[in-house]
Structure 1
Amino acid sequence: MQLQVVICRRVRAGGSHSGALRHSADMRGSTAGLADTLASGSRAHAALLACADALFASLVVAPAVVTYWKSTWTLMDLYVLPEEPVGSAAACAAFGLCCDLLFSVFQTQLSKRLRPERGRLTYYVVSRLCTGVAGVACVGAWRGVWNLLNECTGSSARTLISTTAAAALSLAALRALRNICAAPFAIAVDSPQDYFDVPTMFRTNSRETMLYILDCIFSVTVVGSLVVFVWRGSWALLDIFLFPDDKSKSCWTSLIAGYVVVIVTFALQAPVRWSAARLHGAPRLLLADVYHLVSFVATVNVWRGVWGLLDIYFFPETPKLSNWCSHIVSLTLLILLNCSNSVIVRGVYIDAEEPAGECVVFPCHYLRLFFHKERTKKRHRRALQAAAAAAAGRKPEDASLPLQMPEEKV
């Protein structure tokens, strides 16, 4: 009994920091404290892992996320009132926004009821089903708002520029401009600690029921719609000005230009972070917003390029088969990679809310979190062995001997 108490104390002491780290890492958009904590070891090793994370996010996660969104969006075009554009858009918007609102309002209840401790298999299956529903809801909300804008405001260049600029300035005024970013600059790891967390604009406590519901409504409808306005306007402007008569050339140009800007943006992260750490107030906020706008230019070009090339080259003569295959394969791949939540646009993150230069660090810590978790497991095993050796009266150098009690029973 005494041995169990000693071991549990050692494990708790070693695991609390790791748990807090995973919690802050998995919330897309929040990077407070991550960069320094994950950079244990040599600088060369940390830089190598950072490059590997950037490559993984850009070449694996981003194409899979875009493929999921493109296939889900097109399937809605094919199945949801295809002969009635306005009705189809309204139905998708209503379904998507309502589901997003429900997931936001009931996030605390979902987090309490769906936990691995209550059954790992049940948790895994139900949580991934929730991701599937939330993913379809997000795509539906975006498609609905996007197409309603097309029907109501038209697609002239002047209108697009004015609506896009107005939406971007509104987000900047709300300090929510960073929410226009997506993969490859954001990866949401499927961690049980905050799997269902949806940060709201005003961070209202869920115990204040009415204020909390109003906060959720504002976050989902107002901030979410403004983000769609920015994406829709930027995408449509590229359609107008970037080789409008040659779709293949336009998409290839978007893809290449997007990845060039992705490389530049990741390369600039260290100097921008250094600069942000030395600025305060409005100058720091302005630097963060400009940096996020540059990353958005890269993001929207990569998305448009991958999206258009899938339309052109992936079995265009059989759209239903093509998009069903894309939908299933991309979602399955992301689930197996443990980052299926990357397909969901949820929550509101505040510009420059992290301390110092952390506000410009993108949440792309997939491989670094994996290696950190493995190092933490090794430290836990050593703590268990040391505690067992101390309780048994062995010498410290004999602590590496195997324990009689399996770790799983601790």
Structure 2
Amino acid sequence: MTDAPFTLPKTNSSLWSIRPFHRQYLMRQANNLYDFFEAPSINPKGGFYELDEDGKPLGGDNAIRQIHVTTRMVHCAAIGSLIGRPGSDELVDHGMRYIWEKHRDQKHGGYVWSLDDNGYKDSGKQAYGHAFVLLAASSAKIAGHPLADQMIADVTKVINERFWDEKRGAVRDEFNQDWSTLLPYRGQNANMHMTEALMAAFEATGNRDYLTKAERIADLIIAKNAVPMDHRVAEHFDDNWVLDKNYEGNEMFRPSGTTPGHWLEWSRLLFQLWALGDKRLSWMTDAARNLFRQAVDLGWDEKHGGFFYTLDWDNKPIMREKLWWPVSEAIAAAAVLSTHDRDDYFQIWYRKLWDYAENHVIDHGRGGWLSELTEDLRPTSRLFVGKPDIYHALQACLIPLYPATGTLTSAIIQGDHTVKQAH
């Protein structure tokens, strides 16, 4: 006799996110992440350190600063400022000045990928990095930083003139430093994060061109590619946007196969984009639901728990490691979907995902979240060294606390306004 699948009794099916204890739990977890990452990450020479498992700086006296690390910390510090965490404004300023004075290429324009105290280490110009510059600047603008408008204008000009492909409705991926060489690779990951950044820029500035570009990217990556492939997100394309199923790239940023964590990330972004676009593109909500369900059905390890990092095109695991960011994105997606869709399925998974994170991913002894687990959930470091950043886990903690009507930074402002009206 097999056990019947677990379902929530009707008396226990209300959203956790409205329950006072759960809201306290989420804010406590967010505060723990800030405690672990903020002060130890500050590099007195500029920018931010990456941290080891114990929260100690990596890289020594001449640590390399990668642009996604700098910009994500600015974004998260801006969130800290908006929710009222003391010390956050100084972190925003510390990071914004490093982006503007160091990552920004004053000779050729754009923002380089990495540098140390002696200069550029990787001077390439990636759409992925520029997306996070736009996100950081947009979040900093909402938090009131004086450099934000200038940075938004600068990076927007670069995105429009260098990366944006008007014919395709997406961004190109990577140039060399002086823009003379464009790599033939096209990828969904840079476009996914550009979608996130474009939404944030739209909310920060009111310029609808950002929203239009985000909708066009979603149409290409999801409506034209993922939906016909049974709601599996294709990662890698050639310069004509023809799917390359045999692509083998960087295991961290461009792994082969397909990545269920990105299906989950898109499921959240689509609902946010639908809400920002006056709820007129109904295809997005249907796609979001199906992306979430497919990620669970194909990517979740029923034996041990956790999402496999990558799958092949026969839906078999390639990399069986369980990383921190897919479960973070799954939590955020389940929270957003539960708000808009009262199907108990999404709330059941929201709770199951937090159970998994609490019992296996959150490092209760040292702080932060474990970045990588083996298939059977033992800590490992094959792909990642240390605890890479605060960004994914922090958003998993905070997105459930605020209205699911757009990006987190603007949702915090909207939530504060709602509280003021109630009083």
Point out the structure with the larger helix share.
1
Point out the structure with the larger strand share.
2
Between structure 1 and structure 2, the one with the greater Rg is 1
Calculate the TM-score normalised by the size of structure 1: 0.25
Calculate the TM-score normalised by the size of structure 2: 0.25
